[in-house]
Structure 1
Amino acid sequence: MATTKQSKVVKVEPLDHKDAKWATLVKITYTDPEGVERTWESGERLTRPEGADIDGVGILAVLQDPSKPDDSPRILLQKQWRPPVDAIVIEVPAGLIDPNETAEVCAVRELKEETGYVGKVMGGDFGVSPIMCNDPGFCNTNLRMIHVTVDLSLPENQNPQPSLEDNEFIETFSVPLRDLWDECKKFEKEGYAIDARVGTLAEGVECAKRWKL
């Protein structure tokens, strides 16, 4: 498989609305609390299925082997070059939701397709996050984070093989969840970009450690 390091931006040019397939730019007219009419430029996704309340999911996949209870849990991460930032980005697995698909089903499907791992959505009220807006000052994109466990002792997880599309070049790896903050700092020094979802997860883990939550 070709490495993501071979990717590069060749050209950047304006995109006409009629040619947009994935996202477009709109001008929103609104009134502020004092009744003053104002405008806002916003990015808008064109891929959200009718009736869906989210565009897609991000996946917090934790790798554990029940036969090794003393091993530190690991978080599944990916390296993927992203044209808008012209850099290889450290990300969690993620994907767009299909029509009539639940967030949980989407997460398990995308995890299998992108990484080869078969996961299980965590039970209780922690399995599915509230709806999160990626960058509400710029675009309407939103998602749910789905929290998934991957049992490394299962036969289907012994030799995971992703089913990537021909335009996907993704490298999957894992790091100890407790070390995620230090890993992000290291990746930044090495020239990688850090996806906000990964960075936020790292901050949460580090806050829990430092304030003994």
Structure 2
Amino acid sequence: MSHPDREPAITRVSDLQTTDSRWIALHKIEYTDQAGTPRTWEVATRKTRGKAAVDAVAMGNVFLHPSKPPSTMLVIQYRPPLDAYTVEWPAGLIDADETAEQAAVREFKEETGYDCVVTSVSPAQAADPGMTNANMQLVMVEVKLGGDDALPEQRLEDGERIERVMVTLDDMYDKLVEYSKRDRFVVAAKLFHFAAGMHFAKTSGHVKL
């Protein structure tokens, strides 16, 4: 039974052995540094990396409307590791038999309800190199809207609850700053860095546009 007004809450945190985990493994790396000194490092790795050799995709997206300024769709969802709502671009893991492009189209449809067209795919990028070998690719996609398109139905998995928010590209940086000030909200670094780069290019005078 759904409880739309209930706030998610962590009820227990316990240690997890790699042998009992489904998605993540924990390892100790032994290595020698540039000076030849033996050292160790703790690293979390994903168990789900497929033939693409990339774990995940994030979909930077642009919505084009005949009478409105270019916009992007943000998604907001509860993330247990943070015990907070994160503001992100749509994203997801790449299935074992998928390419980054295929995963992006599938995940974008599931989370937003919209069909999209891929316009570019980034090289593989480190997700959090100090803690994990997880990597990802940024797939830019485009959606062309009609004059009065209705919001399509999402295709969410059991347990997923994702709010969709449309903001203009010009307003994206300011909106993310606003979200970051809200209680129990966190803006995803990948999204904020993209928006901050756009803002820097427009306001610093150091970039030729």
Q: Answer whether TM exceeds 0.5 for this pair.
A: yes
- What is the CA-CA distance between 1:185 and the residue it aligns to? 1.1
Say whether residues 1:208 and 2:205 are aligned partners: no
Q: Does the 8 Å contact 1:5/1:88 carry over to 2?
A: no
Structure 2 residue aligned with 1:117: 114
2:100 corresponds to 1:103: yes
* % identical equivalent positions: 40
Partner of 1:27: 28
Structural RMSD (CA): 1.7
Cα distance in 2, alignment partners of residues 79 and 34 from structure 1: 45
- Is 1:174 the counterpart of 2:171? The answer is no
Which residue number corresponds to residue 145 of structure 1?
138
Structure 2 match to 1:162: 154
* Equivalent residues of 1:180, 1:205 under 8 A apart: no
Counterpart of 1:18 in structure 2 is: 19
**SS of match in other structure, 2:129:** coil
Q: Indicate yes or no: 2:192 matched with 1:199.
A: yes
Q: Name structure 2 gaps, 5 residues minimum.
A: none
Higher helix share: 1
What is the Cα deviation at residue 100 of structure 1?
A: 2.3
Look up the match of 1:59: 59
CA distance 1:32–1:21, change in 2 (3 Å): same
**Runs of 5+ unmatched residues, structure 1:** none
In 2: Cα distance, 1:162 partner to 1:74 partner = 19
1:99 aligned counterpart, secondary structure: coil
Please give the TM-score of this superposition, normalised by the length of structure 2: 0.92
1:84 aligns with 2:81: yes
Aligned to 1:161, the other structure's residue is in SS state: coil
Runs of 4+ in structure 1 deviating by more than 2 angstroms, as ranges, are 1-5
Question: 2:44: which partner in 1?
Answer: 43
Q: Give 1:14 deviation, angstroms.
A: 0.4
Q: In the alignment, is the contact (CA less than 8 A) between 2:92 and 2:107 conserved in 1?
A: yes
Please, what TM-score do these two structures have when normalized by structure 1? 0.90
Could you tell me how far apart the structure 2 residues matched to 1:153 and 1:115 are? 16
Shift of 1:52: 2.1
Correspondence for 1:74: 71
Counterpart-to-counterpart distance in 2, 1:37 and 1:5: 50
Return the structure number with greater strand share. 2
